[in-house]
Amino acid sequence: MFINIRRDLHQIPELGFQEWKTQRYILDYLASLPQERLQIKTWRTGIFVRVLGMAPTKTIGYRTDMDGLPIDEQTDVPFRSTHEGRMHACGHDMHMAIALGVLTHVVHHPIDDDMLFIFQPAEEGPGGALPMLESDEMKQWMPDMVLALHIAPEYPVGTIATKEGLLFANTSELFIDLIGKGGHAAFPHETKDMVVAASALIMQLQTIVSRNVNPLDSAVITIGKLTSGNVQNVIAERARLEGTIRTLSPKAMEKVKGRIEAIVRGIEVAYDCEAHMDYGSMYYQVYNDEALTNEFMQFVEQKTDVRLVRCQEAMTGEDFGYMLARIPGFMFWLGVQSPFGLHHAKLNPNEEAIGVAIELLTRYIAWKGNHKVKEEE
């Protein structure tokens, strides 16, 4: 059933804060469930679903993301995206199907504690976690702990991976526009060439990690896109650089941004041009609560057949970090065994992982959210 739900959602990927079809699909599914213990609120294109417990002393939160990516799908599956130029290439369709599976189980098999299911839009951008966290709806239903998962193509089905502490990096988008003076290629002395300025800027940006970041820390600055000029014999008046910054600490992020801004100011002077910067979406690090994460890992090892990998931190970004900065909780990787990685146009996760995740999470939540079970241990 939940594989079919995943396939339905896979066909209708939508970008951040445009997930209206996705929201409608989820609301229609929720309407098919028994309503006695369900409370539902919408927030923009997101959804909060509270499942009332039998004797609650706390609220357990579970978050899933909803949005797709601006990617042309290149798989040959019969349920490929019907939205041109849009694809669930980060597994959010899998995430939603798993969340609905866990929610359905909790509705039909009540636990003592309340649960809050958070269907969050705009994870890929411009960032939905922080504004959702600050919404009146979430403030009214703020959970005492929160957990989430993310698919991992590099791990086999039946495996999860996580660790206490830092799991995902601090991330920030980076956009830089350079404006000079265009002109004929034969008269460069009468122009301010932004191809040259952009090239110099890119090379200088690469010195930040090697010369300004502590070698015992880690950071990445990647310029993934450079656009400039229109024709081969005209000197470009404008150039635009688009990239990303990743660091393993908030302090390193501040240091890297400070150096980028200083270098950009230097480029303005050196190439007599104008520069504009925008950091776009910024995501706080995913930092797993030590006690809750260790408790979860012990549960997986002692009470399930799922293989647990104690992984290293990754330079990937996830705005779930904003929630973990305020609410104790954790995130883990779910193995889906695909030769193509996240954000790849041919990503095709193994759907058997949906059942693995639902079973694992329902067992953990029943153990965590039923007081008598905990007391007997």
- Point out the annotated binding site for Mn(2+): 90, 92, 124, 150, 343
Tokens matching residue 195: 């191809």
Give strand pairing partners of 238. Answer: 179
Neighbours of 34 (CB within 10 A): 9
Whole-angstrom Cα distance, residue 207 to residue 93? 39
65, 114, 193, 289: the active-site residue:
65
Which residues sit in the known binding site?
90, 92, 124, 150, 343
Residue type at 202?
A: I
19, 123, 124, 173: the active-site residue:
124
Tokens matching residue 319: 């705005």
Does the annotation count 268 as an active-site position? Answer: no
Does the annotation count 124 as an active-site position? Answer: yes
Whole-angstrom Cα distance, residue 117 to residue 79? 26
Tokens matching residue 123: 């994870």
Residues involved in catalysis: 65, 124
